[in-house]
């Protein structure tokens, strides 16, 4: 019988639901303002521009950035990563990254290798998806210009040693880029105390904003080494046909996703009021409940660190004798539980944990609005699927 309820456990892809304030802000902008950001001096555009500037300031405060202009708005985390990679690398450069990084890093680097001959070294990970900082140190070369590492993997949720890797990168004279797609808004990040030059994150995941929003943080001085990828209208210095060098205009050509950024401002306000620490504690408790329940189910294999302190709210599993995509379909159609199955655009992680050849894993990921009852339902459903699979296997034995 088809499921009538909906339990959303795909927050690693995009958080849902959003805070009510986000829906209200987007609706208000679309119905009442509707003006472009930084284009004009009439009341509606001034009001919209002020909201987006507040968004920039709040994200800077949330991340511990030096100032608001260090926060560049993009259209998603992939857009931010492409700006960081394509904008900073030149012919003859060498990059160190890891096999647990997302295709949003690996594919731009592959393209840069094809076009410019950029050399890339991928550091290996252990069976939990964690990298060793010393492996990055051994991989450095005299021409290493950039080290890139995901803050937490989107498959196992494993938190990577970014502080240690950043120190190693800087000692080698390289910039350090962090992909915070799974950590911004989930973990406290204080850039004043971290050796990080560039941070990319989406607005629609842990920051709880709408899709079509992203952020790139640029440490002071790095902009001189980072080319803009798009040139065009900024609403400033319109008399000049040369792209402005000041931030954020250097990297924000064309109209912004105004309604998305207005929604993001409301989301970050809600997030700040609740506190990232409180949200992290909530999600960690849910992951602990999920891990405790899943490891007790015969036929279910759980991947990643056993300690909740070593991961974010992402848990990947397999069911013996069952294709991951089939498990996800049953969870949705029979139990009303929405998850994601497959390789999750991160094939290297699956190679590291040994699930690549079998089609990946089933990923369950929590968010601020996930409840303990949701987790109990997911554990019960996984138990029923695993038991049914074992009964069918026994009948054919």
- Do 27 and 91 belong to one domain? yes
pLDDT (tens, 9 = 90+) of the chain, 397 residues, equals: 456 689 999 999 999 999 999 999 999 999 999 999 988 889 999 999 999 999 999 999 999 999 999 999 999 999 999 999 999 999 999 999 999 999 999 999 999 999 999 999 999 999 999 999 999 999 999 999 999 999 999 999 999 999 999 999 999 999 999 999 999 999 999 999 999 999 999 999 999 999 999 999 999 999 999 999 999 998 888 889 998 899 999 999 999 999 999 999 999 999 999 999 999 999 999 999 999 999 999 999 999 999 999 999 999 999 999 999 999 999 999 999 999 999 999 999 999 999 999 999 999 999 999 999 999 999 999 999 999 887 776 666 5
* Under 8 Å between Cβ of 203 and 62: no
Q: Exposure pattern of 332-350 as b/e (b: 16+ CB <10 Å)?
A: beebbbbbbbbbbebbbbb
Is residue 8 one of the residues assigned to a domain? no
Cα four-point dihedral sign 375, 381, 384, 387: negative
Rounded Cα–Cα distance for residues 45 and 34 (Å) = 8
| Residue where one domain finishes, among candidates 222, 257, 274 | 274
What is the CATH classification number for the domain harbouring 183?
Answer: 3.40.640.10
What is the reported pLDDT for 396? 61
Domain containing residue 218: 20-274
- Do 215 and 283 belong to one domain? no
Angle between helices 258-274 and 43-63 (to 10 degrees): 40
- Do 267 and 351 belong to one domain? no
Is residue 207 one of the residues assigned to a domain? yes
- Do 85 and 228 belong to one domain? yes
pTM value?
A: 0.96
| Residue where one domain finishes, among candidates 274, 291, 306 | 274
- 201 is a catalytic site residue: no
- Do 161 and 227 belong to one domain? yes
- Do 37 and 119 belong to one domain? yes
- Do 36 and 164 belong to one domain? yes
Is residue 3 one of the residues assigned to a domain? no
Which DSSP letter does residue 160 get? P
Split into its structural domains, the chain has a count of 2
- Do 134 and 28 belong to one domain? yes
| Residue where one domain finishes, among candidates 259, 274, 289 | 274
Rounded Cα–Cα distance for residues 385 and 22 (Å) = 36
Is residue 13 one of the residues assigned to a domain? no
- Do 315 and 327 belong to one domain? yes
* Under 8 Å between Cβ of 288 and 308: yes
- Catalytic site residue from 55, 77, 274, 345: 345
- Do 323 and 291 belong to one domain? yes
Left, alpha or beta for 354 (phi > 0: left; psi -120 to 50: alpha)? Answer: left
Is residue 15 one of the residues assigned to a domain? no
What is the CATH classification number for the domain harbouring 337?
Answer: 3.90.1150.10
- Do 252 and 319 belong to one domain? no
């Amino acid at each position: 019988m088809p499921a009538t309820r909906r339990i959303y456990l795909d927050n690693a892809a995009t958080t849902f639901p959003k805070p009510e304030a986000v829906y209200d802000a987007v609706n208000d902008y679309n119905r009442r303002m509707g003006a472009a950001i930084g284009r004009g001096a009439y009341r509606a555009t001034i009001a919209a521009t002020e909201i987006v500037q507040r968004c920039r300031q709040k994200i800077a405060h949330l991340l511990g950035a030096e100032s608001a202009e260090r926060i560049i708005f993009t259209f998603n985390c992939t857009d931010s990563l492409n700006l960081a990679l394509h904008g900073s690398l030149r012919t003859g450069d060498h990059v160190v990254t890891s096999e647990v990084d997302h295709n949003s890093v690996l594919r731009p680097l592959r393209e840069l290798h094809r076009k410019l001959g950029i050399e890339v070294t991928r550091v290996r990970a252990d069976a939990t998806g964690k990298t060793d900082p010393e492996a990055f140190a051994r991989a450095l070369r005299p021409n290493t210009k950039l080290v890139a590492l995901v803050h937490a993997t989107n498959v196992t949720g494993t938190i990577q040693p970014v502080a240690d890797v950043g120190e190693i990168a800087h000692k080698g004279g390289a910039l350090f880029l962090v992909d915070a797609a799974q950590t911004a808004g989930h973990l406290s990040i204080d850039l004043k105390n971290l050796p990080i030059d560039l941070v990319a994150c989406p607005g629609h995941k842990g920051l709880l904003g709408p899709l079509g929003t992203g952020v790139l943080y640029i440490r002071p001085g790095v902009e001189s080494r980072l080319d803009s990828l798009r040139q065009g209208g900024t609403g400033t210095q319109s008399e000049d046909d040369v792209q402005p060098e000041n931030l954020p205009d250097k990297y924000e050509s064309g109209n912004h996703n105004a309604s998305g950024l207005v929604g993001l401002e409301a989301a970050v306000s809600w997030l700040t009021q609740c506190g990232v620490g409180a949200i992290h504690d909530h999600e960690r408790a849910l992951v602990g409940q999920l891990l405790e329940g899943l490891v007790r189910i015969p036929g279910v294999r759980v991947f990643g660190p056993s300690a909740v302190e070593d991961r974010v709210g992402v848990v990947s599993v397999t069911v013996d004798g069952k294709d991951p995509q089939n498990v996800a379909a049953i969870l949705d159609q029979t139990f009303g539980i929405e998850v994601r199955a497959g390789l999750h655009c991160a094939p290297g992680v699956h190679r590291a944990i040994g699930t690549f050849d079998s089609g990946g894993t089933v990923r369950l990921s929590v968010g601020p609005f996930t409840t303990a009852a949701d987790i109990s339902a997911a554990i019960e459903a996984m138990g029923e699927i695993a038991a049914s699979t074992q009964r069918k296997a026994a009948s054919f034995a």
